Structure 1
Amino acid sequence: MDSCQNRTGRSTEMTRKEQQSIDLKFGQNESSTHKIDTQSVATMENNESNMSTRQNSFFPDGGYGWLVVFAATWCNGSIFAIQNSFSILHVMLKVFFADYRVKDTWIGALSMGMVFLCSPLVSMSTDRFGCRATAVGGSLVAFVGLLTGSFAKSLPLQYLTYGLLFGAGCSYSLQPTLVILGQYFQRHLGLANGLVTAGSSLFSVALPVLLEEVLVPLGLERTFQILSVLPLTQAALLGATFRPPPTPECHENTFSGIRIFCVPSYRMWAFGVAIAVLGYFVPYVHLMSFVQEQFEDSEQKEWILLVCIGASSGVGRLVFGHVGDLLPGLNKIYLQAVSFMFLGLASILVPQCLTFEGLVVVCVLLGVCDGCLLTLMAPVAFEVLGVQRASQGIGYLLGLMALPMTAGPPLAGLLHDQLGNYCLAFYLAGVPPLIGGLLLLFIPRMHHHLWASRAEMLPGLYGTKVRAEDSLPSQNIFTDGEPSLNKNEITQL
């Protein structure tokens, strides 16, 4: 009996010591908690004060930054103008290669797919080598891809030159332009992004006119050679202007890798967008061929449709960028979801247009939806993941978009070859955006529900309980703030 009591006493003493050890480890006794919280508050206030001073001192917010905006506009404009004008190049490829079936459709789809597929690698390259080196290197690769494409006499070589080299070069030169704007602008960052996206739309309006009226008569080889001047000029501009701003330190991303897919809202958003873009690129590739078949006796100029898409996309970027700023939190996703659904509806309406004027109206709708989607990608990523993780979230999102965007146009071309027309291809191309848009509609509600159900279990940043009714729907409890859990809450979770 005494032996049992001694063992019980020793066990109780050991349990008490273990309890104290655990309490000290998790900082849950009252004195240490108060001390830790006081130190945390003081440290946070000091860091915020220092950060505010650094931001005011090291963000130019104008001056030389506007030269960076000009270079970024040229980069975005030349890349998307060439990519979005592939419908004209597609017609030239059909004439150039006599064995045309569905195979040359893969060239444009592969090029656009590489822009998105390389995005996770571009994020790492930008962090490692900086914006200027990455962007200049990508521009030179894009230049080599277009120039060597002018000498390619077979489809496999076109896959390598225009498809792989040009597409990868576009990816490596495009993404740094998004990153460097955040280094040069703080208060006027929205204005800078708006000018870049809207300015690049001018290229998408002008290039189809240049292609149709000037370059097409010169032939495919001369067209690629002249287009290669754009990325070469881009390399010179980016090399001259993309110097790093005078900032004292680099802000590291502490939530790297595929761990961002542990965030339910991001996971659903990323896969919803990936589903929606399966039919996104189909009109850009097959619209010109459809017009030539549908209105073969018409004297209308097909390139007018691409001009309408480019112009309306620029307007959409400006308008919906401002509208998105007015929508709090994840309510921006509702706007993105509706845009995807209207994009799918527009694709379904293309075969129903019996007049060229009706097709112009549909193309304007396509452009407005396109501008809305592109403008809201980054803001939604910031709302879902927070500031520190948004850049990698965008990179992985673009990577997920690569496969469906690459596969969509060839599948549409295959349907055309089997059926002899584009009707079913455009009908089916409108289905994925509708499905993806419907999925996105559930994200804000799901995000708020997850926050409300777990907010009571998580302490606030300074050790106080957070009530669900006091939380913001856009705040992400899975990544933002990085609150520490006590031992009881760890057991519950």
Structure 2
Amino acid sequence: MKNPESYKYKWVVLLSASLTCSLTWGLAYTIGLFYISWVDEFDAGNGEVAVIGGINTGVSCLLGPLYDVMNTRLGYRKAGALSGILMAVGYIGSALATNLFMLCFFYGVIQGFGFGLAYFGASLAVNKYFIQQRTFAEGMATFGSGAGGFGFTILSQYLIVTYGWRGAMLIFSGTALHIVVLFQLTFSPDQLDYLKLNWKTPNATDKSSELGYEVSNKDDSDLASVGSDDKIEIDDEREVQFFRSNDPENRTWLRRCTGMFRNPLFLLMLFTEFLCWIAVYVPFVHLPERARLLGIDATTVTWIASSISLSMCFGRIAITGICSALKIDPFYAYGFVNVVSGLLTVFSPFLTTKDGLLCYAIFYGLFYVSVPLIRASAASLLGADVFSMAYGWIVAISGVGLFIGPALAGLLYDITGSYDATFYASGACLIACGTMVAFRNKAKRIQDAKMTADVIYKRYEL
């Protein structure tokens, strides 16, 4: 197929994805403000109400493999429209809730399912169009997450005060329906020609294949590219057919998963993401409470919390832009930002003033770039053909870490009576996550050797 990056329509898809991220994560970050209203409304404990957010997060992340199947079967536009409708229904049902069980179902399950499906689909669409500029495109797409988190936090506070939490939920249901419109603008590259949306730059040459491999003649021999940069010499048409038989279009979802879990690079990514998400969300959850316990006033605590989201906007554009311009491997960049975030978090207990905590929040947000970098890494190292499935499992393992991390952090506080141990442990996990990236080349060599062995075996078998 034509090089997807030759289409100017890619910028429409990128804008749509960024706005989708703004709506999904922006609305998700407001849950802390609704907690207070739910505790008062239903006369419930903080632990009971916290279950609602846990269900929402769990559904949105742990169902990543299902989102892969739905986007493959339905396409971006239908799956995206469904996600916006589900989010709207979740908010309407929550606004009408008369007990916590209804909130768990409508906000936790229904809204969480729509949230995860929309965010997943936006990422897939971006990776279909951007290859050479993939890292920067991911940064631009996830820029909306930080911008939405900052904007919707302020907006939701105003809406709750003015219309009550139920009125705010109804307004957010209408806001979520905008996702339906955004996904109607999200066409896959192979649709653009017959839809007459092919805003293609002239004389563009094909640089990639949507299937993740290409066959070309060079010095009278054929080369088949598996994934992104793994080259294996092919001198027999039967071996080319072997690669094509392993094309995701010709294999069942279960067989594709089995093959993926035999890939050392993929397993390394899963392990690093698990370590990352055990720790990376802890400052979002526990830094405001830590600031309050240090005697900092409520207004300053709010600014400390929102500063992470605000600085995250600039960090994602700046760091991904630098990586793209200097052609830095996104997986190495992923390791670097996690090590820096870990060091900042390890030393944060020594910061006990409002200025110190505000500085920590700002710099932590600047280096919170792991999300776009791991997505770019998965596409570039594993191949665009398996990105959807791979990212589905990466999202799922992130959800597991997200479940465990904040809970363990709270448990450490209960045991020690201080947040120092919480931030020490979180920082150590982030540093361990970043240093594990050093095994990238070793994992790649193992995978290359396995692929070569498969080719040799297939050559003699055929």
Q: Identify whether the pair has TM-score above 0.5, normalized to the shorter chain.
A: yes
Aligned match of 1:385? 382
Match of 2:19 among 71, 74, 80: 74
Contact 2:135 2:373 in 1 (8 A): no
Cα RMSD after superposing both structures? 3.2
Distance 1:405 1:149, change over 3 A: same
Structure 1 position 280 matched with structure 2 position 280: yes
Q: Which residue of 2 aligns with 1:21?
A: none
1:303: which partner in 2? 302
Equivalent residue number for residue 192 of structure 2 = 246
Q: Give the distance between the partners of 1:163 and 1:305, measured in 2 at CA.
A: 27
Which residue of the partner structure matches residue 41 of structure 1? Answer: none
The question of 1:164 aligning with 2:109 is answered yes
- The Cα shift of 1:216 comes to 4.6
Shift of the 333–69 alpha-carbon distance from structure 1 to 2, 3 Å rule, reads closer
Distance of 1:417 and 1:224 partners within structure 2: 33
For residue 214 of structure 1, report the CA deviation from its aligned partner.
4.5
Change beyond 3 A, Cα 1:217–1:278: farther
**1:398 and 2:398 equivalent?**
no
CA distance in 1, matches of 2:347, 2:385: 41
Decide which moves more: 120-129 or 386-395: 386-395
Superimposed CA distance per residue, residues 221-245 of structure 1 (whole angstroms, 9 cap, x where no aligned partner): 2332222232112223323x23443
How has the CA–CA distance of structure 1 residues 183 and 442 changed in structure 2, closer, same or farther, with 3 Å as cutoff?
closer
Give the residue type in structure 2 aligned to 1:390: F
Q: Percent identity?
A: 20
Matched residue, 2:259: 259
Structure 1 counterpart of 2:339, from 325, 338, 341: 341
What code does the residue aligned with 2:352 have?
Answer: L
Does the aligned pair in 2 maintain the 1:87–1:284 contact within 8 Å? no
**In 1, Cα distance between equivalents of 2:40 and 2:376:** 42
Tell me which amino acid in the other structure corresponds to 1:485. Answer: I
For the 8 Å contact 1:275–1:435, the answer to whether it is kept is yes
C-alpha distance in 1, partners of 2:39/2:300? 18
The alignment status of 1:433 with 2:425, answered yes or no, reads no
Per the alignment, residue 455 of structure 2 pairs with 484
Q: Partners in 2 of 1:363 and 1:283 — Cα distance?
A: 8
Contact kept? 2:210, 2:385, Cα under 8 Å: no
Q: Which residue, out of 176, 180, 185, partners 1:235?
A: 180
Q: Cα distance 1:489–1:316, how it changes in 2: closer, same or farther (>3 A)?
A: farther
Counting only pairs closer than 5 Å after superposition, residues 133-172 of structure 1 correspond to structure 2 as 133-172=78-117
Question: Partner residue of 1:316?
Answer: 315
The whole-number CA distance in structure 1 between the counterparts of 2:37 and 2:419 is: 19
Q: Which amino acid in the other structure matches residue 295 of structure 2?
A: F
Shift of 1:483: 6.7
Partners of 1:104 and 1:228 lie apart in 2 by 21
Provide the C-alpha distance between the structure 1 equivalents of 2:388 and 2:401, rounded to a whole number of angstroms.
Answer: 21
Q: Which of 33, 48, 61 pairs up with 2:7?
A: 61
Q: CA deviation digits over 1:77-111, x for unaligned, max 9?
A: 11111223434344444444543243333322332
Question: Are residue 450 (structure 1) and residue 449 (structure 2) matched?
Answer: no
Letter of the 1:433 partner, please give it: L
Ranges in structure 1 where 5+ consecutive residues have no aligned partner: 1-50, 452-475
Structure 2 residue 275 is the aligned partner of structure 1 residue 269: no
* Secondary structure class of the residue paired with 1:62: coil
Give, in angstroms, the shift of residue 200 of structure 1: 4.1
The 3-state SS of whatever aligns with 1:262 is coil
| Aligned equivalents of 2:161, 2:419: Cα separation in 1 | 24
The equivalent position to 1:83 in structure 2, one of 3, 18, 28, is 28
Distance 1:421 1:91 in 2: 23
Give the counterpart letter for 1:258 in structure 2: T
Distance change (3 Å), C-alpha of 1:422 and 1:300: same
Closer/same/farther in 2, CA of residues 340 and 325 from structure 1, 3 Å limit: same
SS across alignment from 1:485: helix
Which residue does the alignment assign to 1:209?
A: 154
Query: Which residue of 342, 352, 364 maps to 2:362?
Result: 364
- Normalising to structure 2: TM-score of the pair? 0.76
Distance 1:377 1:292 in 2: 33
Query: In 2, distance between residues paired with 1:270 and 1:417?
Result: 30
Q: Which amino acid counterpart does residue 248 of structure 2 have in structure 1?
A: N
Number of paired residues? 405
Asked if the contact 1:147/1:225 (under 8 Å) is kept, the reply is: yes
1:413 Cα deviation from its structure 2 partner:
3.8
CA–CA separation in structure 2 for the residues paired with 1:188 and 1:448: 22
Q: For residues 326 and 260 of structure 1, do their structure 2 counterparts lie closer, same or farther at Cα, with a shift above 3 Å needed?
A: farther
The one-character-per-residue Cα deviations of 1:143-188 (angstroms, maximum 9, x if unpaired) are 1112222233433333222222221111111111122234455676
**CA 1:152–1:279: 2 relative to 1, 3 Å:** farther
337, 348, 355: which one aligns with 2:353: 355
What is the TM-score of this pair, normalised by structure 1? Answer: 0.72
Partner residue of 1:3?
none
Query: Does residue 120 of the first structure (1) align with residue 65 of the second (2)?
Result: yes
1:196 to 141, 151, 161: 141
Q: Per the alignment, in what secondary structure is the counterpart of residue 198 of structure 1? A: helix
